[in-house]
Chain A
Amino acid sequence: DVKVTQSSRYLVKRTGEKVFLECVQDMDHENMFWYRQDPGLGLRLIYFSYDVKMKEKGDIPEGYSVSREKKERFSLILESASTNQTSMYLCASRSPVTGGPEAFFGQGTRLTVV
């Protein structure tokens, strides 16, 4: 059974903290993604990675960075958390090369910044 696992379901952090959201996939997928989801705005792409150490900005990268040191792991970093980063964060992976273009999602991390 394919799996994308996010390290936390719920997270509460203080303003100004550096926050790490971790995502691991066991499908050997090349592509991994971070989205945030807010009511009325749907899913918005923050960053994606198409290979180890490779990354590209999505639509809303400001205030975020990412790290992909190993193929199976993609981390989202909030350099200095702010209250407007309170949101649901979704990680996904897919492999258009070896499989279908469908994406597999983690269960989501609901982050609250206070």
Chain B
Amino acid sequence: SQQGEEDPQALSIQEGENATMNCSYKTSINNLQWYRQNSGRGLVHLILIRSNEREKHSGRLRVTLDTSKKSSSLLITASRAADTASYFCATDTQAGTALIFGKGTTLSVSS
């Protein structure tokens, strides 16, 4: 059972543009995390937002969380070719023991 669903599935932009990807989830959460995966590699943690936070920034990343809509968005500003990767949102199972991931958004940034 996948808790999060990212949207869009794929996104192509030019360098310098902003990229926004969205995540919807089904049940109540304590926090929501975003991960990045370069092609054929493992996932790397980007940012975590807690359920009592509405917005969080880290460098060029901005994450928002709307618990009433059960949704989150990840904004990458001034994108670079090196941002080309797949991005996943993740939440804990209700027991809090495992992370459940969505299907991901594949971002392609061309120069």
Using a CB–CB cutoff of 8 Å, the interface residues on chain A facing chain B are 4, 31, 33, 35, 40-45, 48, 50, 56, 58-59, 88, 90, 92, 94, 96, 100-108, 110
Contacts and interface: CB of A to CB of B under 8 A. Distances in A.
A104 B46 CA distance: 11
B96 interface: yes
Interface of B: 1-2, 31, 33, 35, 40-45, 48, 88, 90, 92, 96-104
B42 A4 contact: yes
A90 B92 CA distance: 17
B88 A103 contact: no
A90 B43 contact: yes
13 contacts: A4-B42, A41-B103, A42-B103, A45-B98, A90-B42, A92-B42, A92-B43, A92-B99, A100-B48, A101-B31, A101-B48, A105-B42, A105-B43
Contacts of B40: 88, 108, 110
Contacts of A104: 45
Max chain A Cβ within 10 angstroms of own Cβ: one of B43, B90, B98: B98
B42 A33 contact: no
A106 B42 contact: yes
A40 B41 CA distance: 16
B65 to A, nearest CB: 15
A103 B96 contact: no
B45 A43 contact: no
Given A101-B31, A103-B35, 5 more contacts: A40-B103, A42-B103, A88-B40, A92-B42, A102-B33
